[in-house]
Amino acid sequence: MEEIILIKLGEMVLKGLNRNTFETALIKNIRRRLNGLGEFDIRTAQSTVYVTPKEGADLDTAVEKISKIFGIATLSRACVVKKDMPEILKAAEEYLKIDLLSAKSFKVESKRSDKRFPLKSPQISAQLGEYLLDKFPNLHVDVHNPEIIVRVEIRDFAAYVHGQPIRGAGGIPVGTGGKAAILISGGIDSPVAAWTMAKRGLELTAVHFASPPYTSERAEQKVVSLLQRVSKYAGHINMFTVPFAKIQEEILKKCPEELFTLIMRRFMMRVSEKIARREHCQALITGESLGQVASQTLQAIVCTDAAADMPVFRPLIGMDKLEIIDISRKIDTFDISIQPYEDCCTVFTPKHPRTRPELQYILEAEQALDCDGLIEECLNNVKLTKIRA
């Protein structure tokens, strides 16, 4: 029995004259994710993407990978049937037999896109429902809360029979929204921020700050592992690891302790912006949530943003910690984020950080530092790691 993956588009159907651009990007992303799983024929028609496996292709893994591609509302693994009612009846019985045997209630939903088919949708549903009731005595019809819904779609090329669709990742295709740099740590928040902005079509570049010998290789590998989880949704990501210990030591030595975290974050913004512009990014992304810690008060964020000329996106700004954790569990990053490896942001943490800083005093404190020289030195020693989905 021939099988196919039917992909239904989400908000892309509302894009009007730009819709073709979004569909082209989605097809490109699907092809990339299916690379190495065998040959697939991919085409679009009637707001649906058809993914047809050729002999030897790994359909099971293809379904799993496609479910994590942004731009997809739902996907269904369906059997392809000749547009003939007796063939459709038989196919539904055989293809969904295991599900139908294990259920007690069902209903049939039909969609007739090909108006040349002689039966209308209600007639298709009635005939198939009657047929399945006869073949499966364990079933009864429940149109309000069925355990299984049998779906039939009559389209231009064939008829398709399938069960419950799989929910897709939603959003819009990665690459259609531009490119931005995510400041990534080993915590819970920044991987969620990366995922959230990739869902809005942004291609990601990652900037990670490491502070050896205060942080270990395991801490850096933790970030690589987090990005590998994010890349299942966001696609390929280039990660730039910045050696940051010398800058932190200079701040600790020459600046007031209560301003240490703010001045450090301002350096992070400056360095990240330079890497972002080199990588043709148009914005920065952080995982900050308003008021979560001392460096994330409104006054502190204003002082941090003053160090960068690029727009800074903070998709988690209005979320509480439980909401962020829920998403991290959904995208499978939580278990890595809570591993107890040190983070450069926790090195030299002041006992009493300033929560309502004034930019004037921070600028005065920074005059004791050779900002340009420190930034140039760490940029000359940046390491590139390619994260591949």
How far is residue 59's CA from residue 187's CA, in Å, rounded to a whole number?
35
pLDDT at 195: 98
pLDDT at 349: 78
pLDDT at 342: 72
Q: Do the Cβ atoms of 68 and 169 come closer than 8 Å?
A: yes
- Is residue 2 packed enough to be buried (19+ CB in 10 Å), middle (13-18) or exposed (0-12)? exposed
Q: Whole-model pTM?
A: 0.91
Q: For CATH 3.40.50.620, list the domain ranges present in the chain.
A: 179-387
pLDDT at 341: 77
Domain 179-387 has CATH 3.40.50.720: no
Domain 3-169, CATH: 3.30.2130.30
Instruction: Calculate ∠ Cα 158-164-167, nearest 5°.
Output: 105
pLDDT at 293: 84
Q: For CATH 3.30.2130.30, list the domain ranges present in the chain.
A: 3-169
Mean pLDDT by 10 residues, the chain (389 residues): 93 81 95 95 91 95 97 96 97 97 97 95 97 97 96 95 96 96 95 98 97 90 97 97 95 93 95 98 96 87 94 97 97 94 74 84 95 95 94
**Crossing angle for the helix pair 359-366 and 260-278, to the nearest 10 degrees:** 80
H/E stretch holding 74: strand 72-81
